[in-house]
Structure 1
Amino acid sequence: MSRLAEYRKLEQQLAAQLAELESMKSDSGLKKEMEFEDKLRALLGEYGFSLKDVINLLDPHSVRRIATNEPKAAVRKPRRVKVYKNPHNGEVVQTKGGNHRTLKEWKNEYGSDTVESWLAQ
């Protein structure tokens, strides 16, 4: 897209947003909300309270609700130790995962299914 076309597109978007902003300014519901917010903030300032103080005053259990909705860190179950015994040479490998060097060599040489059949525990 050329720079001129991009400029014209952004100019149109800006004009549309400005028109929407002007229509919102004449909305009586928005005017009431803005007036309420201004008065509320003035009142809070007069008494030295914050929005959090008001929320805690009106709904003291809201803090506990928010804390219980937070996702908890998943605790992973510890892996158990697997013991493989090679029947060809009697070598034993203990591992908690499948990323063991000797185990990989065995699987390449004898096949994965065969090596899994050597599982002692």
Structure 2
Amino acid sequence: MKKLLLTLLVVCIVSAISLTIVHLTGGLPPDGRPGCLKLFGILACIIIAVVCMVLLGSLLLNKRHVYYGGLVVGFGVSTWFSSRNMLGLASCPEVFHLKSCYVVFVSMIAFTILGVMYFREKMKEEAGEQ
């Protein structure tokens, strides 16, 4: 369980950082689609990369409250951009013809399910040792 979660978080970090690099180097799609959207002047790709780093660090350190706090931020950001995209107020960048804001939202759901399963298992192990 932990290995799967770690792998998915590393993929999330690498993907978010690569989107950030593409955006900052001007490698935007030629058809005029946008790069990373901004929240309070900060690229959403950077915010998601930091959220995934917090999730990764808290998982490695077994700090479930930090993990869940990171999920709240991740859900907030992904919900904000997904809803703006659905309402036509913004357009999220596409990766393999998938809107990145939707991918992040689904990823946060997966991180929640896997995280809850992992930390429950961890708590049962700790309770069994005592």
For Structure 1 versus Structure 2, the TM-score category normalised by the shorter chain is under 0.3
Q: Name which structure has the greater RCO, CA cutoff 8 Å, separation 6+.
A: 2
Structure-2-length-normalised TM-score: 0.23
Determine which structure has more spread, i.e. the larger CA radius of gyration. Answer: 1
